[in-house]
Structure 1
Amino acid sequence: MSRLIDNIKQYQETFKQRVPKDLQEVMLKATENLKNEKLSKNALKLKDKAKSFTLKNAINKDVNLDELLKENKFVVLNFYRGAWCPYCNLELKAFEQINDKLIQNKAKLVAISPQTPDVSLTTMQKNELSFEVLSDTNNKVAKEYGLVFSLAQELRPIYEKFGIDIVASNNENSFELPMPATYVINKNKEIIYAFIDEDYTSRSEPQEILDIISKNQ
């Protein structure tokens, strides 16, 4: 199994070659500004209690965290920005590679984004995902987990140039998105693993998730 970090580095090399340097500099500056704000300090962290929620899946069926914890020993929550984000797609594919092992360890994986259920369904099909992809309308749950930020004004026209339509994907125009975050939650709703980063190119390594679950069996 290839490491996610290696796949990300490979993508970044291609990105640097095809995207004008002035745009890259604007994007890097926006990420640095987010880091300087230290938004992740407000997010739920290790040993915090997870917030309950009920969200629609890709076929508009309700999925409830408490019910998932009744049926499984662990729940893995992965907050991602959307199908338009290449880093998110790399991450979702990497998590798909460990999903069978998670199931064997009685861990339920769900991915959460502010996208509409229709777009979530497209995300599942595009990435051939076998786990639930949930729609967090208006980032309601992501806000409760302390993950939400507003996409910088200077990035919005750049994203448009890339053909990214966040307003259409989320069916609202706030440009609010979740920071990349992954949580492992046990039956007591305690967070036993937490990864949060203002840098959208930084993601949790799937093997870390498996290791944490193995240690807590």
Structure 2
Amino acid sequence: MTAPLFPTGIELPRVTPPQAAPLTAAELLASTGVGGRALRAGQSAPSVPVLNFRGLPVPLADAWRHGPAIVLFIRGGWCRACSLLLRHWRDHGETLRALNTTLVAIAPQTPDLADRTAIDNGLDFSVLSDPELSAANGFGLSFTLPPDAVDLYAANGIDVPVLNGNGLWVLPVPATYVIGPDGVVRYRHVEGDPSPSPRPEDVLLEVEERFGWR
């Protein structure tokens, strides 16, 4: 990873996504249609290009080329809930190595901000940049923020089009995927699904039960 690319003393806003929005996670999932179009178990994951911390394109399929992969879609490093999730995962490196499993996170941020997210949270896994939304669209997770959500984010200093560098008020619905070395989705959880959000331990158990590579 590189050093932070921002001058000392400049900080991004780090807030929990606005809770005053009228839609719950389940309602948002239904209203955007993401629940119906997001990739499901048994479907093939797309090998779309994403950017590494140097801003160079890499095929996402590299994550599962030599073993299963866990892919986390997050809103961005400014999202406190997303950062908390990443920190929960950073303590499981030994288990991931024992399971021959690669963990990556994907955010629609510019590469420098994605790298900063990894540095700020002390991660030993990659936060890949998806400013063109290739991965978010490929997995069926992207949605355009409704006007009331735009107003709430803007009021909290979160300028999504600038942070993502694409001029769009578009984010992925946070999601967790397990993908086999054949590129087939074996497990998914999308925020707003009826089942509770999985802990890292739950996802790792899915990997162990499906691949058994300890």
Contact 2:179 2:186 in 1 (8 A): yes
1:39 matched residue in structure 2: 34
For 2:44, give the aligned amino acid: K
- Report SS of the residue matched to 1:138: coil
Report the TM-score when normalising by structure 1. Answer: 0.80
The alpha-carbon distance between structure 1 residues 153 and 30, as it changes in their structure 2 partners (threshold 3 A), is farther
Output the CA distance in 2 between the equivalents of 1:30 and 1:172: 26
1:194 aligns with 2:162: no
Any conservation in 2 of the 1:180–1:203 contact (CA below 8 Å)?
no
Return structure 1 stretches of 4+ with deviation > 6 angstroms.
Answer: none
What's 1:52 paired with?
A: 47
Distance 2:163 2:43 in 1: 31
Runs of 5+ in structure 1 lacking a partner?
Answer: 1-14
Per-residue CA shift, 1:85-131, capped at 9, x if unaligned? 11111111111121331122110011001100011111011101110
TM-superposed deviation, 1:137:
1.9
Secondary structure of the residue that 1:192 maps to in structure 2?
strand
Deviation at 1:33, TM superposition (A): 4.3
The alignment partner of 2:133 has SS state of helix
> Structure 1's 82 and 192: CA in aligned 2 closer, same or farther, altered over 3 A?
same
Greater per-residue helix proportion:
1
SS at match of 2:187: strand
Tell me whether 1:121 sits opposite 2:115 in the alignment: yes
Determine if the alignment matches structure 1 residue 106 to structure 2 residue 70: no
Q: Which consecutive residues of structure 2, in runs of 5 or more, have no partner in the other structure?
A: 1-15
For 1:203 and 1:113, the matched residues in 2 are separated by 19
CA RMSD of aligned residues (A): 2.2
Percent identity of the aligned residues? 30
Q: Is the deviation greater in 126-135 or in 27-36? A: 27-36
In structure 2, relative to structure 1, the CA distance for the partners of 1:73 and 1:160 (3 Å cut) is same
* Residues 30, 152 of structure 1: 8 Å contact kept: no
Aligned CA distance change for structure 1 residues 159 and 208 (closer, same or farther; 3 Å): same
Asked whether 1:212 is paired with 2:201, we answer: no
